Amino acid sequence: MRGRDGSFERRGRNYSRARGLVEALLRRGYGAGWPARLWGRLPAAGRVRLVERRVAVRAPLATPLRVAFASDLHLGPTTARRTLEAAFGLLAVAAPDVLVLGGDYVFLEASAAVARELEGLVRAVPARVKVAVLGNHDLWTDHRRLEDALGRAGVRVLVNEALRLPTPHGGVAVVGLDDPWTGAPDPERAFAGARGAELTLAVCHAPEGLALVRGRAVALYLCGHTHGGHVALPGGVPIVVPGGRLSRRYPHGVHAVDGTTVFVSRGVGGIEVPFRCFAPPDVALLELVSDV
């Protein structure tokens, strides 16, 4: 909640004094967003991969369900507008049934200008249903401002709760879990809203949320956070992956884990390092089809 002096209450855990110092230095060093403007002049800034997969699910579906996913937008001084427009252009053309957003919408600060930019990008995607979860960077800043912007763009922000899809996919539930590291994930509360669903999808900011969904008959798990290492070796082998054991095990791509199809996005934007190397930004379009 914002105070009269414009301050806000930070909900996210694990925001250390060292983290605050680093961010203060980056705000000063990246003033006026010069890294994003510089990177935006290069051809690579307009290259975003569209990952397309067909996912067979053991549940009845009247028609295929097209799910688009984007994560780690990181609007701020290190993400070029050109990259964001390329990513959301792909999502708009895909025209999915459901748009899912995986958190970390900002880097450093959720200013009013950033919130307006986020709202405009998401609003432009034609999807009947739009859902989102929050990431660690969102919870370390004015997350309410981001939630309000997403809400104005037609997004339902899921914090340990589930949403049932409308007809013809009324048997499908989407479960959103709070960030495993900085938030307060509550899988019991989240999955309570999915009881009776014929098909359950789950979204959480990071691969660490996988530990919370095992044994719950989740057909598809969507997450980001890792950036695929952001800077990787040729072939996309990450050098350093943020997060814990599961992030290192599943740094990006599609995986089969205990009967669940897992997609880990490399994300779209930049963080401390304003460029990527062998870890290209991506968005996904996953078509779920019945295999019963």
Tokens 């763009």 belong to residue: 153
Residue 10 lies in a domain: no
Report the distance separating Cα 254 and Cα 264, nearest Å. Answer: 7
**CATH value at residue 206:** 3.60.21.10
Residue 104 lies in a domain: yes
> For residue 284, what are the β-bridge partners?
51, 69
Residue 123 lies in a domain: yes
What is the pLDDT tens value at each position of the chain, 292 positions in all?
444 445 688 899 999 999 999 999 999 999 999 999 999 999 999 999 999 999 999 999 999 999 999 999 999 999 999 999 999 999 999 999 999 999 999 999 999 999 999 999 999 999 999 999 999 999 999 999 999 999 999 999 999 999 999 999 999 999 999 999 999 999 999 999 999 999 999 999 999 999 999 999 999 999 999 999 999 999 999 999 999 999 999 999 999 999 999 999 999 999 998 889 999 999 999 999 999 8
Sign of CA dihedral 219, 118, 26, 34: positive
Q: Which domain does 147 fall in, by range?
A: 17-290
Count the neighbouring beta carbons within 10 Å of the beta carbon of residue 50: 15
Domain count, the chain: 1
pTM metric for this prediction: 0.96
Residue 197 lies in a domain: yes
Question: What pLDDT was estimated at residue 105?
Answer: 98
Question: What pLDDT was estimated at residue 6?
Answer: 52
Residue 149 lies in a domain: yes
Residue 8 lies in a domain: no
Sign of CA dihedral 241, 247, 248, 252: negative
Question: What pLDDT was estimated at residue 3?
Answer: 40
Residue 224 lies in a domain: yes
Residues 84 and 73: beta-carbon distance below 8 Å: yes
Residue 3 lies in a domain: no
Q: Nearest Cα to 228, choosing from 34, 36, 45, 49?
A: 49
Which run of H or of E encompasses 143?
Answer: helix 143-152
Contacts of 233 (CB under 8 A, 6+ apart): 239, 278
